[in-house]
Amino acid sequence: MSEIQEESGICMFAYNNEKIDYVKFAHIAAAYVKRNMKNNATCLITDSGTYAYLKDSMSSSLHDKCFDHVVIQDVQHKSNPRRHYDSPWTEFSTQFSNSNKHDVINLTPFDKTMLIDTDYFIMNDFYDHIFETDVPIAMHKYARYLEHQAPYLNEQTLNEAGIHHWWSTVVYFDQSEESRVFFDTWEHVKDNWDYYHLLYQFPPGLFRTDFCVSIANHVMNGFNENNFMNDFGGIPLINMDQKDDIIEIKDVNDYIMLSHNRKEPWKNILNRQTNTNLHLMNKLSIARHSTDILQKLTNGEHA
């Protein structure tokens, strides 16, 4: 267990695999936090293999600019292959290491923590308000895609008649008893995945933390859709689909993207997002622009 060293900050998990350089994404996400938030202390949680790669592939000054704390946790992740898309026409599968995300409450060096995914780029100060409250836990309940479309059906509810789907992309929490019960419940769901996929009727193939938090929230609400969880004022996550693409980074907080049409995927329209927090789900698209983004964020210094 880490010691609490600071009042507030942002944590990220990054475990590289052979296809996705999550630790580089984490540095971009951290640089965005530094640029746009007041509560901008940062902590990277990774394993020794990824950390060794980081040391080889990135300058120490860039790393120090982006992260104030590093926690090494070597975990044996179970095989969890995830299918990714890069546009509607290219797909690939790779390991998705997310089995210890619930452990963030023990690993964080912060009293009040916001855990974000490394593909979540914070481009405004929206989240600062939550650190001023006594809210124990907050997550996004709603999401939309670039053309203001609703999420896919399995991202709205866990099954056709199921409970609401909450997003673990951004999880704010403090060190209260409620938070601890919540993360313990998340771990319990993970440990009993086979049971919970039958109970809540979702496909068991891919281990998804979104499902864990949705179930933990449902259980802690007395098996109801109640208001235990703060939902950031109902503001939705803005998702860039894996089948969408980044076209140009005009400025660090100004992205032009190509949004595909779900029914007719050969149709695309351009979409410009300015000063908007973005969940960029097309990982290879981030990778193609990562050096450019890092250069813009760090005034020319990049890995």
Partner 1 sequence: MDERLEKALEFGNYRATLNNQKKNVIARMQTLQLVHYNNGAFTANPQTISFVQSLISVGKTASVILDNKENPIEIKDLSEFVELLVGAYTEGVNEYQVQMEKLKKSRNIKKIMDW
Instruction: Tell me which residues touch partner 1 (CB under 8 A).
Output: 124, 126, 129-130, 132-135, 146-148, 227, 233-235, 238, 248, 250, 256, 259, 269-276
Tokens of 67: 């992260």
> For residues 18 and 234, which CB has a smaller minimum distance to partner 1 in the complex?
234
Q: Which is nearer to partner 1, 14 or 170 (CB)?
A: 170
Rounded to a whole number of angstroms, the minimum distance from the CB of residue 285 to partner 1 is 17
Nearer to partner 1, 274 or 291 (CB): 274
Give the nearer residue to partner 1 in terms of CB position, either 126 or 200: 126
Cα 257 to Cα 271: distance, rounded to the nearest angstrom: 5
**Within 13 A of 300's CA, how many CA atoms are on the CB side?**
0
Sequence-distant (≥ 6) Cβ neighbours of residue 46 within 8 angstroms:
13, 14, 15, 23, 26, 54, 70, 71, 72, 73
Kindly report the CA angle at 66 between 61 and 71, in degrees rounded to 5? 100
* Helix axis angle, 177-191 to 193-200, nearest 10°: 90
Cα separation of 210 and 202, whole Å?
A: 12
Residue among 83, 82, 25, 78 at smallest CA distance from 50: 25
Nearer to partner 1, 54 or 281 (CB): 281
Nearer to partner 1, 44 or 114 (CB): 114
Closest CB 292 distance from partner 1, rounded Å: 17
Which residues on adjacent β-strands are paired with residue 224?
none
Least separation in angstroms between residue 124's CB and partner 1 is 8
Q: How far is the CB of 227 from partner 1 (least distance, A)?
A: 7
- Residue 147 C-beta: closest distance to partner 1, Å: 5
Residue 89 CB, nearest approach to partner 1 (Å): 20
Q: Which are the contacts of 96, defined by CB distance < 8 A and separation ≥ 6?
A: 80, 81, 82, 206, 207
Residues, the chain = 303
